[in-house]
Structure 1
């Protein structure tokens, strides 16, 4: 197929990748994005396995690799801010992986999309979606009405497209026990390509420094068996919740709470997976976190978003009709998404986010092992998730 009109909802990793490859495959693509611009900043994320092939084919691999944060140092602190353990991330990564600030990746993808002259509508979002016999009619919040052959929901865990098409979010989400808030603060420790971490049972404070010497990405993560209900756009309620959870905590926490109070832009969310029986309905399809969020604990979300979006565009190109393309997209992509979601059962997130005293003890043992490993030991100690690689044309040689 080609010459079909497609509306992509969302301009993050999945949306930009989808738009790029749909355009490349002969489709007329428009992106609609709620924000006023492509979002910058953000914590470091990974591009791994088969996603490496895709960014190479998009011509942005060299740019991403130049900003690679691999071999970041992690310093574990005590309550007096003394380093009690340290390690690098090389023991947990493949040497082809690219670790990069989230905003740098989205801007590289956006640049590739701009070069294709793909239309992007900012400050807007889908208000209604009505299925037609051979397509979809949409109305945006701005009042723009238009018909498309296909709508792609690439609008994240809290997908508006999914809600309008399949129903309320809580029907498709699985809470994993952590809540986190992220924000930017002054780099008062003069860090560079490193992180400092202070944990008490169920509460962790982290500062990530990339190559920007002026600021760091700060995170306050807490564990809670019951998912708290907080409106995701109510910043003051977020701050109040986090400050209550971290009051009377030592280490770097007081500095982070001061910065949190002053911050006007924070990101609050829960560690959540999206699990759905079907990703498509009535010429509307979901991709990326909207369809199969694995949670940030897996470190696979960005790569899965890139891979799934490429496969979706490729299936739409190669099949004779939309129904067959969407069916095969799910058939190919679902096993990879499900395996990565199930990997959380054996995940090692307690190293960074211990939920209780038992996990604090377990973390101490693991950190001692990491410190005592030689480079050769680390290379032999396979902590790489082989499910990053998918058997699919152009993606199977990682």
Structure 2
């Protein structure tokens, strides 16, 4: 079975790994000239994604590259003193298994897991997909594939070609984010420093193995701002307008906008679609159901979605007309729940009122002074996002994929037993 995947960030390489284990011939096309190394930001892997990574044999590499952040300092805009918090309390209370890792590191790890068995077409992109699976590229010669997968992110090219303009599916969440690489800051080791005010939040953090740091900017906007997602000059201007004068430390971060070698800016938006498949084309990860960059567990959701899609194709012996509906049924609840918690998380991370800002600061102060036991109890009640991502029910498709590759045929009834990861 010949399968084309568009996108080589997270969902694409994970899907490619499992499809090759199923005996498929996999090609990945990526617009970038090489595996992206653009700085990126820290992402979270929750329990189901960690389990899938372990089955891929890459868990030890992930654990070697975790950021190591273990404490947070929160400063309210205008306040003289910050509030400190031991983040180990948060991690221990909200997840049995969790890793925070830089996105670029994670992408490389997943890429390496199957790169020897996958054909990669870097510096190219899809221009046309026919109902019969004929695919045209900007550079490569046309080819025919049995299945085409869009794993190409929030601004998916495959989605646009097959399902229509992005505006039909993108739901603006009323906020924006920016990420830039900045020089290492003295004393930042394993610390997340946050400045927060009404409608705007800035975080600065590093990682144990990095010789630089990342600055994350989040701000609210009642209307969608006028910019193109490739116009970095305009995007940097918008960040300056939103954050100038917040705090001298923040002003120094803004000064790095003209010097940084990596920068990312986008709206916080959710992709909502009635279906993620049409004919032999299917979407996975942010391309089909992004819960919102920086506020949802989109990375874990992408890992789970890729694994489920590969598993359902194995269970259907490559019959995409059966596999795609099964994939959509399996992912319906996780996607719905992730969209809901991402909306809630955005309100917490970017307080929209003085009352919300005060609540965030007071909750942090309370957690900082409570003993471990009571603080864990409080966190279990209040950290809905972690509970949702840790409790996603995922079928164990490993045996199904292996059996499909070894035997060439299998029935839906042969699927391995279901496990539920719950908090």
Q: Normalising by the residue count of structure 1, what TM-score does the alignment of the two structures yield? A: 0.92
What's 2:403 paired with? Answer: none
How far does the alpha carbon of each residue in 1:252-284 deviate from its partner, in whole angstroms, 9 at most, with x for none?
211111101222431001111111000000200
Greater mean deviation of Cα atoms: 229-238 or 160-169: 229-238
Q: How far apart, CA to CA, are the structure 1 residues paired with 2:80 and 2:184?
A: 17
Match of 1:211 in 2: 208
- Structure 2 distance, partners of 1:251, 1:304, is 37
How many positions carry a matched residue from both structures?
A: 390
Q: Deviations over 1:342-362 (max 9, x none)?
A: 2235x3444532233232122
3-state SS of 1:296 partner: coil
Partner of 1:272: 269
Change (3 A) 1:86 1:299: farther
Q: Distance in 2 between matches of 1:212 and 1:190?
A: 15
Residues 77 and 361 (structure 1), Cα distance of their counterparts in 2 relative to 1, 3 Å cut: closer
Alignment check: 8 A CA contact 1:197 1:352 kept: no
Residues 148, 281 of structure 2: 8 Å contact kept: yes
Alignment counterpart, residue 137 of structure 1, candidates 134, 137, 150: 134
Task: Give the aligned CA root-mean-square deviation in angstroms.
Answer: 2.0
Q: Which moved more, 1:189-198 or 1:277-286?
A: 189-198
1:182 & 1:379 partners in 2: Cα distance? 31
User: Per-residue CA shift, 1:301-348, capped at 9, x if unaligned?
Assistant: 111100110110111111142100111110111111111112235x34
Task: Give the whole-Å Cα distance in 1 for the aligned partners of 2:66 and 2:80.
Answer: 28
State the match for 1:385 in structure 2.
Answer: 387
The CA deviation string for residues 177-212 of structure 1, in whole angstroms up to 9 with x for no partner, is 110111101113341121111122112222111114
Whole-Å separation in 2 of the counterparts to 1:386 and 1:80? 34
Identify the residue that residue 118 of structure 1 maps to in structure 2: 118
TM-score normalised over the length of structure 2: 0.87
Instruction: Report what 1:375 is aligned to.
Output: 372
* TM-aligned CA distance change 1:176 to 1:89, over 3 Å: farther
After superposition, residues 240-389 of structure 1 pair within 5 angstroms as 240-320=237-317, 321-345=319-343, 347-381=344-378, 382=380, 383=383, 384-388=386-390, 389=392
Residues 75 and 256 from structure 1, CA distance in 2 versus in 1: closer, same or farther, beyond 3 angstroms?
Answer: same
Deviates more, 1:367-376 or 1:321-330: 367-376
Contact conserved, 1:191 with 1:213, CA < 8 A, in 2? no
> In 1, Cα distance between the equivalents of 2:266 and 2:86?
27
Shift of 1:243: 1.4
Equivalent pair of 1:29/1:119 in contact (CA under 8 Å): yes
Question: Which digits, 9 at most, give the CA deviation of each residue in 1:30-68, with x for residues without a partner?
Answer: 000011222233211111121111101100011112223
Match of 2:405 in 1: none
* Alignment check: 8 A CA contact 1:193 1:211 kept: yes
How far apart, in 1, do the equivalents of 2:219 and 2:239 lie? 8
SS in 2 for 1:327: helix
Cα distance in 1 between the residues matched to 2:209 and 2:141: 40
Q: Does 1:67 align with 2:65?
A: yes
Distance in 2 (CA, whole Å) between partners of 1:89 and 1:202 is 24
Deviates more, 1:253-262 or 1:376-385: 376-385
Identify if the C-alpha distance between structure 1 residues 80 and 356 changes in structure 2 by more than 3 Å, giving closer, same or farther: closer
Alpha carbons 1:126, 1:139 under 8 Å: kept:
yes
249-258 or 88-97: bigger deviation: 88-97
CA distance in 2 between counterparts of 1:117 and 1:154 reads: 18
Give structure 1 stretches of 5+ with no counterpart. none
Aligned partners of 1:275 and 1:291 also within 8 Å: yes
The residue that corresponds to 1:200 in the other structure is 197
Secondary structure of the residue aligned to 1:198 is strand
- Is 1:8 aligned to residue 5 of structure 2? yes
Q: Is 1:237 paired with 2:234?
A: yes
Structure 2: any 5+ residue segments left out of the alignment?
398-417
Residue in 2 that maps onto 1:396: 419
State whether residues 285 and 303 of structure 2, in contact with CA within 8 Å, keep that contact through their aligned partners in structure 1: yes
In structure 1, what is the Cα distance between the partners aligned to 2:226 and 2:297? 26
